[in-house]
Structure 1
C-alpha cells in the first residue's frame, strides 16, 4: 500500500506507557475526541513542545510560531 506524503514526513517511535494511561487514551479515541491514538499522542507532544520550547524561549517580536516548525492545533 503506498504511503501518503504526510506519512513520509513522519518517523515511527515506540514508547512504553502504563496500562491505565493507555486505557484513558483509548477512551479519548472512543469518545471521538481524537481519531486514533497517534493523533492524540501528537497533540500531547505539540502541547509539550509549545510549552517547553516556544513559551520558554521568550521569542523576539519578529519571530513567529511558524518558524519553530511545530504544527499547532488551533483551539487547544
Structure 2
C-alpha cells in the first residue's frame, strides 16, 4: 500500500506507558478530545517541546497555525 505524503514526513516510534496512563489517553479519545492516540501524543509532545526548547507556553487552540513553527504542526 502506498504511503501518504504526511506518513512520509513522520517516523514511527514505540513507547512503553503505564496502564493507567493509557486508560486516561484512551478516555480522551473516547470523549472526542482527540481523534486517536497518535494525535493526542503528538499534541503532548508539541507542548513539551514548546516548554523545553522554546521556553514558551504552547499556543492555545484558537491561535492560527500560521503562528506555530511548521515543525510542530500535525504532519508537517
Superposed pair shares fold, TM > 0.5: yes
Q: Indicate the structure whose relative CO is greater, using CA pairs within 8 Å and at least 6 residues apart.
A: 2
User: What stretches of structure 2 of length at least 5 have no aligned partner?
Assistant: 57-66
RMSD: 2.0
Counterpart mapping for 1:1-76 below 5 A: 1-55=1-55, 66=69, 69-72=70-73
Displaced runs of 4+ in structure 1, greater than 2 A?
none
User: What stretches of structure 1 of length at least 5 have no aligned partner?
Assistant: 57-63
CA distance in 2, matches of 1:3, 1:41: 21
CA distance in 1, matches of 2:21, 2:39: 15
Count of residue pairs the alignment pairs up: 64
**TM-score of the superposition, structure 2-length normalised?**
0.74
**TM-score of the superposition, structure 1-length normalised?**
0.74
Which structure has the greater CA radius of gyration? 1
